[in-house]
Copies of this chain bind each other. A is one copy, B any other.
Amino acid sequence: MLGSLPSFARLTAELGKLPGVGSKTAARLAFHLLRASESDVTALAEALLEMKRKVGFCQRCFHVAEESFCRICRDPARDSRRLCIVQEPQDLLAIERSHAYSGLYHVLHGALSPLDGIGPEDLKLPQLWQRLEQEPLEEVLLATNFSVEGEATALYLAKLFKEKGVRVTRLAHGIPMGSDLEYIDTGTVQQAVAGRREL
């Protein structure tokens, strides 16, 4: 139907490659962009190219960075004796938003998943071991996701860090803030009772 509009069809195809964007959404976005001002579309295109040109990963922790090292690794006020290990840069951002942690990070860019053929060498684990040779640690906070893969990765790392004599912690399981106990799944309630704290 869009055969007479190759450039429009091409844009729709490119937009359809984005995650969560099917062919209908891609067409809707393309029609929106068709109607948008020249300057808006150019701004988007330039933002894409500029991001790709400038943003890479921190050489130390593999968080996103526009320079060799990310903002956190460059901050001398961060506690370099603590290391938080996360799967993705988004997870790091979630922890930063909590303002509850002041140590450094290491972003794995994934989790162990033997079924998908993802082993330790497919993550930023060799880089982590290399890093530890120069950085003495007191505590490692495992903040991988609470999925099967994330838990497996946490267990794998916990074993290795304990062998090195480092204190290993994991994000607490429990009842989310503002929740009705009635609606929380049994597994979470079990974890919350087991992990109960003195008041």
Contacts and interface: CB of A to CB of B under 8 A. Distances in A.
B7 A50 contact: yes
A49 B42 contact: yes
25 contacts: A1-B93, A1-B96, A4-B71, A6-B66, A7-B55, A8-B66, A10-B47, A11-B47, A11-B48, A15-B47, A17-B40, A18-B29, A18-B33, A20-B28, A27-B90, A31-B88, A31-B90, A33-B51, A41-B48, A41-B52, A42-B52, A45-B45, A45-B46, A45-B49, A48-B48
B66 A51 contact: no
Interface centre among A29, A42, A49 (most CB of B within 10 A): A49
A160 interface: no
Contacts of A32: 18-19
Contact of A4 (B25, B31, B52, B65): B65
A38 B51 contact: no
Contact of A1 (B8, B27, B88, B97): B97
Number of copies of this kind of chain in the complex: 2
Nearest to A19: B32
A66 B25 CA distance: 22
A197 to B, nearest CB: 29
A196 interface: no
Dominant secondary structure of chain A at its interface with chain B:
helix
Contacts of A7: 47, 50-51, 53-55, 66
B51 A44 contact: no
Contacts of A34: 51-52, 55, 64
A13 to B, nearest CB: 8
A138 interface: no
A97 B1 CA distance: 7
A5 interface: yes
A175 to B, nearest CB: 23
